[in-house]
């Protein structure tokens, strides 16, 4: 299961020669087929007709005209697509998971039992979900770089770039109430592209299968092949009567997209051409060995241990409490997914000696750099300068890891105290010294999002998270101590647990309206409340601010160095490069194809309903519904039998280049028709965020035939198929 953009965002790969490694970093357009998460304005450079595409590229992306890309939306940290003229959206069950959790309670548990609205009036809100539809993308590199022209100070330069980007975006958003505009850096600042989206703020749940279908196999099967999960859900987008994106209202009407995707009429076979349009979150393919080593030895191990401990804590505290289990479900699932992802990266890096091979690549790079006085003068110290910056952040890494927890995984109460204190602090600074991007719009967005924060609030777990984090502070080495918290450890409290108990008794940070009122207060007014958790944050915040300044300096310098490094790679190899994924819409393509994970093993590219039944134990996560088993036993497949497989296909493998954020992306055939929905990658290739492996990297998608089979035969929702134009 690929993870969302805004939460966490891959291990084992086959040995390759140095030449292949170089190709993975420096991709020519005519180089390794199927590699790349390409910008939509780059797809004309690809040999798509020769690869098997039967439609013109303008049918996929055509500025100013409706095209397939306009039917693909960013949703809930993942991707979705319009599949009817009535705003029906198809995405993953795990993309809709948080919406289902927020809409559920113990009496109506839509996560476990699923949900179906037989009439539009029965559709329920997907709290906090928004759909962003691409309206326009425009290269604004000239405007952005002109604003920073002649500025040598990197931090001042970055601020000017941010100011100009905000100015361009604000001008558009001021004219259109439902527009979301943003200037995004590509290639670490070599190019800047303005993306304009129409935002739909009223999303409702139409159909989601029960957990025993939508998450069949759970974490055991997550990232693994063969897969047998029906990872899909249907939602619907609504707008105001005038067609503008608006918050939920009973007067809103279904959104009518200019274009929606049609379901494939032909069966899917091995070797068939496929392509994906979606919103991949983040990749790091142009990073140096310094970054790779940092993540392998520092970042990933801490995250793996931390997430595992939090999951265990949640399970222990909620094991006999169904309400508590529901409250923590979204968080623990996201953490488990990320933990397995990071472990896969670690396993893959170690098994393939990735850092060592990266260093060998850099040795060859330096031979080229030192080959002429000109290249040596331009690029001779880039790698050394990057290494020096990593040495700086390593000095306080233990403390800084914990400071990160106080901003998200130390409990809801301390997290909202952090946002209240941040807003008050930034307001009191001169405007030119504030955090880039800080604005009233940011405050409004935080305020709107608070209600969803409390949907996940479970006090015993919340308190335990804070206790755990404070005990981690207590164990910091002497040179990284947070002395301002000594009043907890060396004061009148017998234990950290006693401090937290007292703090929660005397704090009102579990009251939504009260917390919203804090976002208008100054630091002085916040202090005067004598709320013990706000007081705790006031003591922590100087360290957070220090860490932010350090990270900003690190980022400013390293991003500039990475840009120079990319310039050098381009100059060295003379190749066209696709930019690293950064949450913007991308295109990737490749054939349906199995793979060999190890010697003498071959994985076929399709799984079937038979496999679902074979895995069934009746115990979660392999607890297939009785009705589904009956459909299999009676062979009541309807029109969804594959003639070659003689069964209902469940999932398939194809050679596309994806990452977190692509979850829910539509998979299309050579004619631009929907054949599936992306939901995962294979475990053996989980370092794909760092490098592409042509032989082994695969995308795992749920077959559209299984989506329609479950919807029609299991749920009895023929009306959804009719709306999609499926006979």
Question: What is the set of active-site residues?
Answer: 94, 231, 663
Query: Is residue 401 classed as helix, strand or coil in its secondary structure?
Result: helix
Separation CA 364–CA 361 (nearest Å): 5
Q: Do 246 and 202 touch, CB atoms closer than 8 A? A: yes
HSE (CB half, 13 Å, CA atoms) of 606? 26
Q: Do 6 and 77 touch, CB atoms closer than 8 A? A: yes
Cα 224 to the chain's mean position, in Å? 19
Spatial neighbors of 489 by CB under 8 A, at least 6 apart, are: 474, 496
Strands of 63-154 (E only): list them.
Answer: 72-75, 78-82, 88-91, 115-116, 124-125, 131-139
- CA distances to 189, 285, 583, 727 from 566, rounded to whole Å, are 10, 11, 20, 51
Closest to 390 measured CA to CA, from 293, 481, 305, 283: 293
Strands 273-278 and 586-591: antiparallel
- Supply angle C-alpha 441, 443, 448, rounded to 5: 95
Q: Do 348 and 687 touch, CB atoms closer than 8 A? A: yes
Three-state SS string across 514-564, please? Answer: HHHHHCCCCHHHHHHCCCHHHHHHHHHHHHHHHHHHHHHHHHHHHHHHHHH
Closest to 683 measured CA to CA, from 674, 675, 673, 693: 693
> Burial, 611: exposed, middle or buried (Cβ in 10 Å; 0-12, 13-18, 19+)?
middle
Separation CA 519–CA 443 (nearest Å): 8
């Amino acid at each position: 299961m690929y993870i969302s953009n805004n939460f966490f965002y891959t291990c084992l790969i086959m040995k390759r020669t140095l030449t292949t490694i170089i190709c993975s970093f420096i991709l020519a357009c005519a180089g390794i087929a199927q590699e790349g998460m390409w910008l939509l304005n780059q797809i004309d450079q690809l040999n798509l007709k020769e690869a098997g595409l039967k439609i013109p590229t303008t049918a996929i992306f055509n500025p100013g005209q409706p095209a397939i890309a306009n039917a693909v939306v960013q949703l809930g940290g993942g991707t979705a697509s319009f599949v009817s003229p009535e705003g029906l959206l198809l995405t993953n069950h795990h993309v809709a998971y948080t919406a289902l959790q927020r809409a559920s309670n113990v009496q109506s548990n839509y996560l476990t039992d699923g949900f179906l609205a037989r009439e539009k009036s029965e559709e329920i809100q997907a709290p906090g979900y928004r759909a962003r539809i691409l309206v326009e993308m425009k290269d604004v590199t000239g405007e952005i770089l002109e604003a920073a022209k002649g500025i040598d100070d990197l931090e001042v330069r970055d601020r000017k770039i941010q100011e100009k980007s905000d100015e361009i975006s604000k001008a558009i958003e001021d004219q259109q109430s439902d527009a979301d505009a943003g200037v995004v850096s590509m290639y670490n600042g070599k190019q800047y592209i303005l993306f304009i989206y129409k935002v739909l703020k009223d999303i409702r749940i139409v159909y989601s299968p029960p957990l025993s279908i939508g998450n069949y196999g759970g974490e055991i099967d997550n990232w693994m092949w063969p897969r047998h999960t029906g990872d899909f859900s249907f939602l619907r987008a609504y707008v105001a009567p005038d067609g503008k994106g608006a918050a939920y209202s009973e007067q809103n009407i279904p959104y009518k997209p200019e274009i929606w995707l049609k379901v494939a009429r032909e069966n899917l076979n091995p070797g068939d051409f496929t392509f994906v349009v979606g919103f991949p979150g983040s990749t790091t393919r142009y990073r140096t060995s310094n970054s790779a080593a940092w993540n392998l030895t520092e970042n990933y191990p801490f995250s793996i241990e931390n997430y595992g401990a939090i999951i265990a804590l949640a399970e222990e505290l909620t094991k006999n409490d169904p309400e508590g289990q529901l409250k923590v479900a979204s968080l623990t699932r996201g953490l488990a997914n990320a933990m397995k992802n990071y472990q896969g990266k670690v396993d893959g890096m170690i098994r393939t000696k990735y850092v060592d091979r990266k260093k060998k690549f850099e040795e060859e790079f330096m031979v080229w750099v030192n080959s002429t006085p000109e290249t040596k003068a331009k690029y001779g110290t880039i790698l050394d300068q990057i290494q020096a910056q990593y040495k700086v952040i390593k000095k306080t890494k233990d403390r800084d890891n914990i400071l990160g927890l106080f901003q998200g995984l130390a409990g809801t109460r301390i997290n909202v105290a952090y946002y209240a204190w941040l807003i008050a602090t930034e307001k009191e600074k001169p405007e030119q010294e504030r955090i880039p991007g800080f604005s009233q719009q940011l405050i409004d967005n935080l305020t709107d999002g608070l209600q969803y924060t409390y949907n996940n609030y479970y006090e015993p777990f919340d308190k335990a998270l804070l206790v755990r984090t404070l005990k981690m502070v207590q164990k910091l080495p002497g040179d990284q101590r947070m002395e301002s918290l000594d009043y907890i450890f060396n004061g009148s409290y017998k234990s950290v647990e006693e401090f937290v108990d007292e703090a929660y008794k005397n704090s009102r940070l579990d009251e939504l309206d009260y917390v919203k009122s804090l976002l208008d207060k100054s630091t002085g007014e916040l202090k005067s409340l004598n709320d013990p958790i706000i007081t705790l944050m006031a003591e922590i915040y100087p360290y957070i601010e220090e860490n932010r300044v350090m990270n900003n300096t690190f980022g400013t310098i390293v991003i500039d160095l990475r840009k120079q490094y990319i310039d050098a790679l381009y100059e060295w190899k003379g190749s066209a490069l696709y930019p690293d994924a950064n949450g913007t819409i991308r295109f990737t393509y490749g054939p349906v194809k199995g793979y060999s994970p190890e010697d003498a093993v071959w994985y076929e590219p399709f799984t079937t309903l038979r496999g679902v039944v074979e895995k069934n134990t009746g115990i979660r996560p392999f607890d297939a519904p009785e009705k589904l088993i009956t459909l299999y036993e009676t062979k009541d497949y309807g029109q969804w039998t594959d003639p070659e497989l003689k069964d209902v296909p469940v999932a398939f493998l194809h050679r596309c280049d994806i990452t977190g954020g692509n979850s829910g992306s539509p998979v299309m055939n050579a004619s631009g028709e929907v054949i599936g929905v992306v939901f995962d990658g294979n475990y053996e290739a989980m370092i794909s965020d760092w490098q592409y492996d042509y032989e082994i990297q695969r995308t795992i998608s749920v077959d559209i035939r299984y989506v329609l089979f479950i919807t029609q035969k299991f749920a009895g929702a023929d009306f959804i198929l009719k709306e999609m134009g499926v006979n």
